């Protein structure tokens, strides 16, 4: 595809429910990143994949959050037992290969998650 796509664009759920957010990176990009953006703030790093493996998950706030990328392309961010504080825009980005001073991340439009 032409760019990074994310589905759904909006998700409304109730407190305590489980949600999955999907990211389709740019074809051929080996690195994939998840960020969370709260209102009025910049994106906050959650997790980074190089290929199929999570190379850095230090930004995940707690064990309710989990992400997978089983075939090294599409990634799913999973949130268990959602809380109202999880409400935010979840952004996905991909890059050709991670690391290096010229590596540019390309962002998707995000999924707006609202937990009631």
Partner 1 sequence: KQEVTQIPAALSVPEGENLVLNCSFTDSAIYNLQWFRQDPGKGLTSLLLIQSSQREQTSGRLNASLDKSSGRSTLYIAASQPGDSATYLCAVRRHNDMRFGAGTRLTVKP
CA distance linking residue 32 with residue 55, whole number of Å? 10
Q: Is 101 in the site for partner 1 (CB under 8 A)?
A: yes
| Residue of the chain from 55, 84, 85, 97 that contacts partner 1 (CB under 8 A) | 55
Tell me how far CA of residue 14 lies from CA of 78, 87, 107, in angstroms. 15, 11, 27
Tokens of 60: 């995940």
Tell me phi and psi for residue 74, to 5 degrees.
-65, 140
| Residue of the chain from 94, 108, 113, 115 that contacts partner 1 (CB under 8 A) | 108
| Residue of the chain from 13, 22, 44, 114 that contacts partner 1 (CB under 8 A) | 44
Contact 74, 68 (CB under 8 A): no
Q: Is 51 in the site for partner 1 (CB under 8 A)?
A: no
Site residues for partner 1 per CB under 8 A: 4, 31, 33, 40-45, 48, 55-56, 58-59, 91, 93, 98-110, 112
């Amino acid at each position: 595809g032409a760019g990074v796509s994310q589905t759904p664009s909006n998700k409304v759920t109730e407190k305590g429910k489980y949600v999955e957010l999907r990211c389709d990176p740019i074809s051929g990009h080996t690195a994939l990143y998840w960020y969370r953006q709260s209102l009025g703030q910049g994106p906050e790093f959650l997790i980074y994949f190089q290929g199929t493996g999570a190379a850095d998950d230090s930004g995940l706030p707690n064990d309710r959050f989990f992400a997978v990328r089983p075939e090294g392309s599409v990634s799913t961010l999973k949130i268990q037992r959602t809380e109202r504080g999880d409400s935010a825009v979840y952004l996905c980005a991909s890059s050709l290969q991670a690391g290096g001073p010229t590596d540019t991340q390309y962002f998707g439009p995000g999924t707006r998650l609202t937990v009631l």
